[in-house]
Amino acid sequence: MQQRIRVTINGKPHEADVEPRLLLIHYLRDVAGLKGPHIGCETSICGACTVELDGKAVKACSMFAVQADGREVLTVEGLAANGTLHPVQEAFWNEHALQCGYCTPGMIMAAKQLLARNPNPTDSEVRRGLEGNLCRCTGYQHIVNAVRAAASGMGD
Ligand code: FES
Ligand code: FES
Q: Give the count of domains, the chain.
A: 2
User: Closest ligand 1 atom to the C-alpha of 49?
Assistant: 2
- The residue from 78, 107, 140 where one domain ends is 78
Q: Would you state the pLDDT for residue 153?
A: 81
Which phi and psi angles does 17 have, rounded to 5°?
A: -95, 125
Distance CA 134, CA 68 (A): 25
Same domain, 70 and 14: yes
Query: What pTM was computed for the model?
Result: 0.96
Range of the domain at 50: 3-78
Ligand 1 pocket test, pick from 43, 51, 53 with the greatest ligand atom count within 8 Å of Cβ, gives 43
pLDDT in tens, the chain (156 residues): 999 999 999 999 999 999 999 999 999 999 999 999 999 999 999 999 999 999 999 999 999 999 999 999 999 999 999 999 999 999 999 999 999 999 999 999 999 999 999 999 999 999 999 999 999 998 899 999 999 999 998 755
Ligand 1 pocket test, pick from 35, 45, 63, 133 with the greatest ligand atom count within 8 Å of Cβ, gives 45
- The residue from 43, 78, 113 where one domain ends is 78
- The residue from 46, 78, 110 where one domain ends is 78
User: Closest ligand 2 atom to the C-alpha of 138?
Assistant: 4
